């Protein structure tokens, strides 16, 4: 019950393909059809060159922990069962950074530079958010 009360991303038409893929267990990035720049989060234009010729490509799902924190005091009642939990910035092998949780390990074991791989937490019917767990 509490897991379902966690916030759902307010999906918009521009990000629908990203979230649809998450629900299928795939992490997507945008790639610029003109300059090849890879970006996250999804935008209307290429943040590097301004082109609007953007495609979706699947990320390999591997990255490293760029920085992290252990949240001791949950932000809301929905997160209390998880506390303490890890919020991190993960740098994907492809380059872009995203915020996420590191799950599947003791919070105290998380370290900057640690290799991680993507997993998905189902939040609602058809909505899953990408999280990361230690890579084997």
Partner 1 sequence: MAEDRSLRGQVAIVGVGDTEVGKVPGLGATGLCIDAAQRALDDAGLTKNDIDGLVTCNSMAEPHMYHAEAMAEHLRIFPSYCVSAGAGGGTTFAVLYQAALAIMHGVCDRVLISMADSLRTGLTREQAMVMQSSSGHPQFETPYGATVPGYYALIANAYLHKYGATAEQMAAVAVTARVHAALHPGAQMRAPLTVEDVLASRMIADPLRLLDCSLVSDGGAAAVLVRAEEADDRPQPPVYLLGAGEGHGHEHISQAHDLTSSHACQAGERAYAMAGLAPQDIDFVELYDCFTPVALIELEDLGFCGRGEAGAFVAEGHTRLGGSLPMNTHGGLLSHSHPGNPGAMFALTEAVRQLRGEAGERQVANAETALIHAQGGILSSHCTAILGRDR
- Which parts of this chain interact with partner 1 (CB under 8 A)? 6-12, 15, 40-41, 66-76, 78-79, 82, 85, 87-89, 97-101, 112, 123, 129, 131
Is residue 3 within 8 A of residue 14, CB to CB? The reply is: no
- Considering the complex, what minimum distance in angstroms separates the CB of residue 99 from partner 1? 4
Q: Tokens in use for 78?
A: 């929905």
* Nearest CA among 79, 25, 61 for reference residue 133: 61
Residue closer to partner 1 by CB (options 90, 136) is 90
d(CA 56, CA 94): 13
- Considering the complex, what minimum distance in angstroms separates the CB of residue 130 from partner 1? 10
Residue closer to partner 1 by CB (options 118, 136) is 118
- Considering the complex, what minimum distance in angstroms separates the CB of residue 79 from partner 1? 4
Residue closer to partner 1 by CB (options 84, 136) is 84
CA distances from 72 to 5, 75, 85, 109 (A): 19, 9, 7, 15
- Considering the complex, what minimum distance in angstroms separates the CB of residue 102 from partner 1? 10
In this structure, how many other beta carbons lie within 10 angstroms of the beta carbon of residue 116? Answer: 26
């Amino acid at each position: 019950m509490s897991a379902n009360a966690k916030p759902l991303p307010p999906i918009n038409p521009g990000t629908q393909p990203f979230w649809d893929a998450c629900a299928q267990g795939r992490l997507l990035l945008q790639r610029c059809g003109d300059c090849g720049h890879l970006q996250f989060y999804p935008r209307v234009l290429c943040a590097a060159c301004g082109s609007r010729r953007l495609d979706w490509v699947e990320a390999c799902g591997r990255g490293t922990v760029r920085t992290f924190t252990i949240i001791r005091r949950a932000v809301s009642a929905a997160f209390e069962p998880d506390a303490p939990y890890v919020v991190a910035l993960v740098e994907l092998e492809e380059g872009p950074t995203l915020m996420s949780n590191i799950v599947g390990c003791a919070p105290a074991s998380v370290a900057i530079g640690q290799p991680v791989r993507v997993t998905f937490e189902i939040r609602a019917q058809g909505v899953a958010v990408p999280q990361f767990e230690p890579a084997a």
